């Protein structure tokens, strides 16, 4: 986990051409996406040794939430997620357990102080459609950003906490970062995608964060 100091970030909804500003409190975020090795500690599944360092994929938003609570409990921390009176998941941002980053935290961490589209040359920092060989790769094989975070762009998309647009898409949640089969344009710090929280696919995983 890497500590990220607080700050301010402006986010953009490219579809609506609208902007909003978010104040970021200090937090921690994982250096890498959650790997299959880490995930199987909670899920109890088994993968071959050659796949242990690859990001876990085919993970729904709900799966990621459950992992965060489970790994918090295993670590002796207070879980962040619980069900409210309506049976919907709520997050206690004061808990010391693991959680998904907000999309503002995710983009703030990805940019690492830069206002550029990417934190480096794409081929150096990311696995994507032109250089991945159409397969997923082990984490940490590409150059990290200025804050030491690997694979923020490319290899796998990453679930965030936020609802994308509740008035239009209902419960659909945000994911960020681009994947191993994507074109250049998807691997940008500002690129936002969405899907139903039960959605699973072979280029979508997650990384964990913690409040400080």
pLDDT, average across residues 140-169: 97
pLDDT, average across residues 12-18: 82
CATH class of 2-211: alpha beta
79/63 Cα distance (integer angstroms): 15
Please tell me the predicted confidence (pLDDT) of residue 17. Answer: 81
Q: What is the number of alpha carbons within 13 Å of residue 188 lying toward its C-beta?
A: 14
157-163 vs 204-205, strand pairing mode: parallel
User: What are the extents of the domains in the chain?
Assistant: 2-211
Report pLDDT digits (tens) over 190-200: 999 999 999 99
Q: Is 98 exposed, middle or buried (0-12, 13-18, 19+ CB in 10 A)?
A: buried
Percentage with pLDDT > 90 across the chain = 87
157/203 Cα distance (integer angstroms): 6
Please tell me the predicted confidence (pLDDT) of residue 66. Answer: 96
Residue that wins the pLDDT comparison between 67 and 47: 67
């Amino acid at each position: 986990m890497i500590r990220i100091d607080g700050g301010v970030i402006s986010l953009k909804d490219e579809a609506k051409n609208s902007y909003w500003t978010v104040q970021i409190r200090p937090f921690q975020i994982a250096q890498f996406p959650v790997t299959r090795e880490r995930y199987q500690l909670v899920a109890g599944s088994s993968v071959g040794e050659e796949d242990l360092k690859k990001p876990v994929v085919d993970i729904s938003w709900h799966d990621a939430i459950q992992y965060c609570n489970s790994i918090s409990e295993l670590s002796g921390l207070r879980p962040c997620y619980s069900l409210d009176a309506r049976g919907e998941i709520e997050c206690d941002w004061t808990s010391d357990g693991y959680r998904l980053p907000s999309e503002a935290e995710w983009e703030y961490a990805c940019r690492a102080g830069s206002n550029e589209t990417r934190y480096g040359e794409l081929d150096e920092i990311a696995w994507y459609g032109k250089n991945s060989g159409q397969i997923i790769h082990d984490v940490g094989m590409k150059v990290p950003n200025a804050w030491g975070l690997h694979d923020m762009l490319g290899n796998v998309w990453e679930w965030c906490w936020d609802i994308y647009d509740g008035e239009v898409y209902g419960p659909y949640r945000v994911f960020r970062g681009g994947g191993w089969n994507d074109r250049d344009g998807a691997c940008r710090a500002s690129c936002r995608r969405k899907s139903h929280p039960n959605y699973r696919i072979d280029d979508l995983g997650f990384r964990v964060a913690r409040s400080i």
